């Protein structure tokens, strides 16, 4: 059995401008809105499979194409090229610590637009891998009610300081902590236990600031784990999902849908 995948069938693309940036955004579905930020190398078939799953569960999904070619399958060469370009882009500030990333302004504008177009009380945002932390940064805007950080990897965890950096500026994190304390904002974090690209230290730092408002799911990928995950297991909601009851990534995806439903409906 392989991870769920899909193509661009039924997705409608249009350019969207916000925060000084313009990207194509692929939309599909009805119901409350969820922004699904692709992982590198882009809106590949696994990301589209996740999007379709959310559509099937009653959400309007918007996928911004921040890098790569939407619908293109992952290959080593393609992924390497996208990583090289993304890591030097000012929009993402891949190595900076205590930094507001310019892409967050685009994502907040997109969240506001999605809230307005769906008429819901707010939207969810799912970030993955390179974009994992961007979901929480989007929640500085009060249109975002349900941020989900799946294996957040920026800043790239080179050195102790970057391992524990949350991927946000202090002012952004303070705003989110204030929203959690006073407005009931909640966030989710997902990672594999042995995933060096998404260090446990990062979730520890977020837990210290957000407390019970930050729900963490950590999937065992230690050697000899029951479900056979390798120590390289990384993409919780795409590559590692097998649609079998009890499979931890599948159960994590179920919990994300529950979380979005609880917060948005």
b/e map of 233-246 (b: 16 or more CB within 10 Å)? bbbbbbbbbeeeee
Rounded Cα distance, 171 and 203, in Å? 18
What Å distances lie between residue 132 and 151, 171, 203, 226, 264, CA to CA?
6, 19, 12, 26, 20
The arithmetic mean of pLDDT across residues 66-79, rounded, is 96
Say if CB 60 and CB 118 are below 8 A apart.
yes
3-state SS string for 145-191: EEEEEECCCCCCCCCHHHHHCCCCCHHHHHHHHHHHHHCCCCEEEEE
- In the DSSP assignment, the letter for residue 18 is E
Q: Are 177 and 214 in contact (CB under 8 A)?
A: no
Q: Return the pLDDT at 49.
A: 98
Q: What percent of the chain has pLDDT over 70?
A: 100
pLDDT grade, residue 176 (50/70/90)?
very high
pLDDT for res 217: 98
- Average of per-residue pLDDT across 199-217: 97
Residue 24 is encoded by which pair of tokens? 């194509």
Q: What is the pLDDT of residues 107-130, one digit of tens each?
A: 999 999 999 999 999 999 999 999
Q: What secondary structure letter does DSSP report for 94?
A: T
The count of other CB atoms within 10 Å of the CB of residue 79 is 16
pLDDT digits (tens, 9 = 90+) for 121-174: 999 999 999 999 999 999 999 999 999 999 999 999 999 899 999 999 999 999
- In Å, how far from its chain's centre is CA 262? 18
Write out the two tokens for 187: 């966030």
Q: Given this model, what pLDDT does residue 7 score? A: 98
Q: Give me the phi and psi of 125, to 5 degrees please.
A: -135, 125
Domains in the chain (CATH in brackets) are 12-264 (3.40.50.1820)
pTM beyond 0.85? yes
pLDDT 10s digits, 13-63: 999 999 999 999 999 999 999 999 999 999 999 999 999 999 999 999 999
Closest C-alpha among 135, 155, 141 to residue 214: 135
């Amino acid at each position: 059995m392989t991870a769920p995948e899909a193509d661009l069938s039924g997705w409608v693309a249009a350019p969207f401008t916000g925060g000084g940036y313009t990207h194509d955004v692929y939309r599909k579905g009805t119901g409350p809105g969820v922004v699904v930020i692709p992982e590198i190398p882009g809106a590949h078939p696994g990301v589209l499979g996740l999007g379709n799953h959310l559509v099937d569960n009653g959400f309007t999904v918007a996928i911004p194409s921040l890098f790569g070619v939407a619908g293109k399958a992952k290959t080593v060469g393609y992924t390497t090229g996208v990583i090289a370009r993304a890591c030097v882009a000012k929009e993402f500030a891949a190595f900076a610590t205590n930094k507001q990333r310019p892409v967050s302004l685009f994502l907040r504008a997109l969240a506001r637009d999605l809230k307005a177009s769906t008429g819901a009380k707010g939207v969810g945002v799912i970030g993955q891998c390179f974009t994992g932390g961007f979901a929480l940064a989007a929640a500085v805007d009060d249109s975002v009610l349900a941020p989900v950080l799946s294996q957040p990897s920026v800043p790239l965890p080179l050195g102790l300081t970057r391992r524990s950096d949350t991927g946000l500026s202090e002012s952004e994190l303070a705003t989110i902590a204030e929203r959690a304390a006073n407005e009931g904002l909640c966030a989710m974090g997902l990672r594999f236990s042995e995933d060096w690209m998404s260090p446990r230290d990062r979730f520890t730092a977020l837990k210290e600031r957000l407390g019970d408002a930050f729900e963490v799911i950590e999937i065992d990928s230690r050697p000899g784990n029951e479900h056979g995950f390798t120590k390289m297991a990384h993409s919780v909601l795409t590559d590692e999902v097998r649609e079998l009851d009890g499979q931890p990534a599948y159960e994590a995806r179920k919990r994300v849908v529950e979380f979005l439903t609880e917060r948005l409906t």
